[in-house]
Amino acid sequence: MLPYATLLHLDKKGATPLYVQLSEQLGQLIRAGTLSAGQRLPGTRLLANQLAINRQTVVAAYDDLLAQGWLDSRTGSGTFVADHMPTVTPLSFNELERTRPKATPVQVEQPGYAFETRTYLTRPALGSPAGLRFDDGLPDARLAPLDELSRAYRSYFRWGNPQAHFGYNDTKGNSLLREQLSAHLNETRGLRTTSANILITRGSIMGIHLTSQVLLRPGDVVVTGETTWTGATMNARQAGAQLLTVPVDVHGLNVDALADLCARQPIRMVYVTPHHHYPTTVTMRADRRIRLLQLAEHYRFAILEDDYDYDFHYLGRPILPLASADPQGMVVYVGSLTKSVAPAFRVGYVVGPTALIDEMARLRRIIDRQGDPALEFAIGQLFQSGEMKRHFRKAIRTYEARRDHLCRLLTSELYDQIQFTKPDGGLAIWATFNQDIDLEAIAERTGRAGLYLSSGLVHNLPGQLLNSTRMGFASSTEAELEQAVVLLKSLM
C-alpha cells in the first residue's frame, strides 16, 4: 500500500474543490509512474479515512478519472489504473519528493519544446494610466457619448431577428456601420467609397496587420519614416519584410530620399501617417503628398496610410488624405474610432479596392471570425442619428481648448527646459527636453509622484537620443493639466 497520506496534499481551504485536487494529483502519480498500469487503488472509504476527507469526495475524484480514461472499474474487484497506460519507470524517493504535489501549485514558465522568441515584439503595451498623466494622445472617455451608445446597444437586443443578430455575421463587419462609415468618409475626407470598399476591424492595428499579411512576403522592402509607430514596424517584420527608413522633418516624410531609394531597389510598401505624423505630429506638405502618389504609381508600391486621428484638427479644414487623390488604387487607408469614442471600444476600418478588401476578409476569417456585431451596430446607429457628428464637434472644441491651455502652461512654466511646436491637430504635443535633462530619470521620478510621463525611449533613432516624448492633453481637464505641469516643474 502506497503512503497516500504523504503523496497527496489537499488544500481544504483552497478555492479548488477537493475532488478536483484529488483527481489531478492522482493523475500526476499515474503519469509519473508511481501508480503503474493495472495497479489497484484503495477503496473509497479507506482512502477517505487516510486523507481525512468525505468518502463522496473520493467517489467524485474516481469518477472523474474513470471518465477521462485513467482508471478502470472492475465489478467486485475494485478500481484500477487503466491497463492501457504506458510503462513509466517509477521515480526515486528523492525525485518523488521533488515532484510531489505542493499545496500551492507552481506555475509552469517554460514549455517543454522549443519556440522562437521575436525580440521585435518586445515593446511596452500602451495603457491608459490613472491619475495625472501626459499619455500618448488618448481621448477623454468622459466625453464619449456613452448614454447614447448604451441605448443604441440595447436596441440591438430588442429589435430584429435574434437568429440574424446573434448568429454568424459578415466577416467584413456590420452592414449598417459600413454604409454609414462610407458616407462619413466620403463627406469628411473626400473619399469615393461604397460599403464594399470597407472592412471593419478591431482597431487600426488589426487593419495594419491584415494589410501586412496580405501584401508582404519575406524579403519585401517596407519604408517608413525614421521616427514612426512601432505597431506598424512590428507587423512588417512579422510578415518577413525588410525595413528601411527615410528622414522626417517639419514638412513630413522626405519624399526625395524615398525617390532615391526607389531608384536603387524595389519597394513593396511605404507606411505613412501624413495627417499628424507619429510621433512628431507634423503634417505632410501638399507637394510631398502629390510626389508620394506619383512615386507609388511609377514604382508600383502600395501606400499604407494610417490616419489614426483625422477627426481632430484645429486649424481650419484638415488636409484631405492621400486616399482622396488616388484614382489608381495605390493607397490602403486605415483609421480607427477608438480615438473618437474610447480605446475600450475596438472598432477600426480599412478602406481599399474591393478585391483587396475581399482578400482581407478571407484572411480575417481565420484570425477573428468577425468583430462585435452589437457594438458595430450601435456605433452605426450613432452615425445614422447624427450623434457621432455632434460628439466630434464637442470633442474638437474641448480638445482644442486643452491643447491651447497646455501650450500656455509649458510656455510660461517650462519655457527654458522644453521646446515644442503647437500641433495643428491630434491629441498630443511633441516635446523636446534640453539635452542636460535626463528624460528617463524624470519619467521615473514623476511616476513615483503620481504623474505618468513617457520616457520617450521608444521613439529614439538607432544610436541617437532624441530626448523627446509625446505629451497627451486630450484625456485631461484643464485643471488636471495645471496640476500635472506644476508637479512636473517641481520635479525638474
Does 127 have pLDDT greater than 80?
A: no
Residue of higher predicted confidence among 101 and 244: 244
Q: What is the CATH number of domain 144-389?
A: 3.40.640.10
The β-bridge partners of 399 are none
Q: For the segment 406-455, what is each residue's pLDDT rounded down to a tens digit?
A: 999 999 999 999 999 999 888 999 999 999 999 999 999 999 999 999 99
Q: For the segment 256-314, what is each residue's pLDDT rounded down to a tens digit?
A: 999 999 999 999 999 999 988 999 999 899 999 999 999 999 999 999 999 988 888 88
- In the prediction, which pLDDT does 301 show? 97
Q: For the segment 187-223, what is each residue's pLDDT rounded down to a tens digit?
A: 988 899 999 999 999 888 999 999 999 999 999 999 9
Q: Domain spans of the chain?
A: 4-99, 144-389, 391-491
Does the fold of domain 144-389 match that of domain 4-99?
no
Of 1.10.8.60, 3.40.50.300, 1.10.10.10, 2.130.10.10, the CATH number of 4-99 is: 1.10.10.10
**What does the alpha-carbon distance between residue 441 and residue 268 come to, in Å, rounded to a whole number?**
40
- Give Cα separations from 62 to 18, 43, 74, 200 (angstroms): 12, 10, 13, 49
Q: pTM to 2 decimals?
A: 0.78
**What does the alpha-carbon distance between residue 225 and residue 246 come to, in Å, rounded to a whole number?**
5
- In the prediction, which pLDDT does 55 show? 93
Does 95 have pLDDT greater than 70?
A: no
- In the prediction, which pLDDT does 1 show? 66
Considering just the CA atoms, what is the radius of gyration of the chain in Å? 30
Of 3.40.718.10, 1.10.8.60, 3.90.1150.10, 3.40.50.1100, the CATH number of 391-491 is: 3.90.1150.10
User: DSSP 3-state assignment of 249?
Assistant: strand
Confidence of residue 89 (pLDDT cuts 50, 70, 90): low
**What does the alpha-carbon distance between residue 304 and residue 322 come to, in Å, rounded to a whole number?**
10
